[in-house]
Structure 1
Amino acid sequence: MRLGAWTETVSRKVADIRFSELQIRTQNLLHVLTVTAAVGLTGNAASASDAERGASVYKKCRACHELGEGAKNGVGPHLDGLFGRTAGTLEGFKYSSALKKKGEEGLVWDETSLDAYLEKPRGFVPGTRMSFLGLKKAEDRADLITYLKQSTEAAPSDEANAPATDARPEIGAAAMALEGDIAYGEYLATECVTCHQTSGRADGIPSIVGWPKDAFIRALFEYKVNLRTNQVMQNMTVNMGNEEIAALAAYYGSLEPQ
């Protein structure tokens, strides 16, 4: 074989080898990209699924905590902007001294601290007014935290503590319009202290100390009209008038949690 022909043959073989290597590398790269995309899609689907399950778990929280557009403080503080917030510092809400102390000690709400708190609130913050017993299942806590993180990243609305703007008349609106007599409320509260501590502690019975006026009145009217089903509270409120309910709201709203 002539040298020129031999050189040409070798060159073609080298080119073929290089092309084959390039094909293999390209196939490997496409495989990696395909796997990565699949993992990403699976992760996103799992995240969406976690958030959906978390929304269901949140139903246990929403009686006390609002979140989203127009969220306001009620029985519990609203949850907008929760992550990264120092515990016990949301303006306009009366926290227990136990939770404020935790904040002063450096407790900030994040995935880790919320998981510990949600597992057993009164174990993590002894003396908290939060009467919720906790979520035992780690999966439920993780799903709830995923949902809260997705739902509360937006900054709190400027109207976070504004009155509700629902077109329907607010239940108890007439009582809410009254300026309750604190002294009269203290007198009426002698019927309440059998169960509810004026210290604000929640040892088996929810604390009602420091509740916002509208939330307090709304709750009593919901018992009064049987929207809430505790028989003792229904019996206590059935004959209460607007002035009595407004007075109790004023008295308990004037107390500072200990």
Structure 2
Amino acid sequence: MRLSLLLVPLAFSTVLLVSTAASGEGADAAAGEKLFKRCSVCHTADADESKRGPSLKGVVGRKAASYPGYPYSDAMRKAAAEGLVWNDEELKAFLGKPQAVVKGTWMAFAGLTREKDLENMIAYLKQHSE
């Protein structure tokens, strides 16, 4: 009986920990901001202006290739026409391997390789999408 009373809270905390990790909670937007400095050569996240790449302000939840006035590649416009929306899953895939998600994109970035970096970057972008 005592053993089962100890196992129930342990099992519950394990489930809670796994579900928290799977949902991206605990991602560090401040760490994502540091990562974004590399991106800021071409993008902004907190201003309504495009540079070499489109502004990423409000990107989370936005349809691909929809930032006004930016001349997107044919590949990105095609992906948008096929329904690409920048949700967590699509951002994670694209930021991990841009050319694998949108072959022919103009984005000259190989991608983030660390899972935590992807989560942190998305957390940072979410701050500028609320």
Alignment of 1:141-220 (within 5 A): 141-153=118-130
CA drift at 1:142: 0.5
Say if 2:37 is the partner of 1:59: yes
Number of the residue aligned with 1:102: 79
- Structure 2 stretches lacking a partner, 5+ long: 1-24
| Conservation of the 8 A alpha-carbon contact between 2:92 and 2:122 | yes
Partners of 1:67 and 1:52 in 2: how far apart? Answer: 13
- Percent identity reads 41
| Conservation of the 8 A alpha-carbon contact between 2:58 and 2:128 | no
Bigger RCO (CA 8 Å, 6+ sep):
2
CA drift at 1:85: 1.1
Q: Secondary structure, in 3 states, of the residue corresponding to 1:152?
A: coil
The aligned amino acid for 1:80 is K
Alignment of 1:214-233 (within 5 A): none
Give the TM-score, by structure 2 length: 0.77
Say if 2:90 is the partner of 1:90: no
CA drift at 1:60: 1.4
Count residues with an aligned counterpart: 106
CA drift at 1:123: 1.1
CA drift at 1:59: 1.1
- Structure 1 stretches lacking a partner, 5+ long: 1-45, 154-258
Partners of 2:90 and 2:121 in 1: how far apart? Answer: 13
Number of the residue aligned with 1:132: 109
Q: Secondary structure, in 3 states, of the residue corresponding to 2:28?
A: helix
Give the TM-score, by structure 1 length: 0.40
Partners of 1:121 and 1:90 in 2: how far apart? Answer: 18
- RMSD of equivalent CA atoms: 1.4
Partners of 2:42 and 2:120 in 1: how far apart? Answer: 19
Q: Secondary structure, in 3 states, of the residue corresponding to 1:64?
A: coil
The aligned amino acid for 2:100 is G
1:157-191 deviation digits (Å, cap 9, x = unpaired): xxxxxxxxxxxxxxxxxxxxxxxxxxxxxxxxxxx
Moved over 3 A (4+): none
Partners of 2:84 and 2:106 in 1: how far apart? Answer: 17
Say if 2:96 is the partner of 1:119: yes
CA drift at 1:71: 3.2
Number of the residue aligned with 2:3: none
The aligned amino acid for 1:104 is A
Larger Rg computed on CA atoms: 1
The aligned amino acid for 2:59 is L
